[in-house]
Amino acid sequence: MEFISIIFEYIYNTSLAGFLFAAIYLFSMYFAWKVWIEGINAGAAEDVKIHLTNQQRHSGNTNYARGIRNFRGAIPRAIKIALILIGLQLVLVLLPGSFAKIYPLREILG
100 has a pLDDT exceeding 50: no
- For position 17, what pLDDT does the model report? 63
- For position 53, what pLDDT does the model report? 54
Mean pLDDT of 55-73: 55
What confidence category does residue 97 fall into, taking pLDDT thresholds of 50, 70 and 90? very low
C-alpha distances in Å from residue 34, one per residue of 40, 65, 80: 10, 21, 13
What confidence category does residue 101 fall into, taking pLDDT thresholds of 50, 70 and 90? low
Q: Cα–Cα distance between 61 and 47 in angstroms, integer?
A: 11
C-alpha distances in Å from residue 85, one per residue of 6, 80, 92: 28, 9, 11
pLDDT, the chain, mean: 62
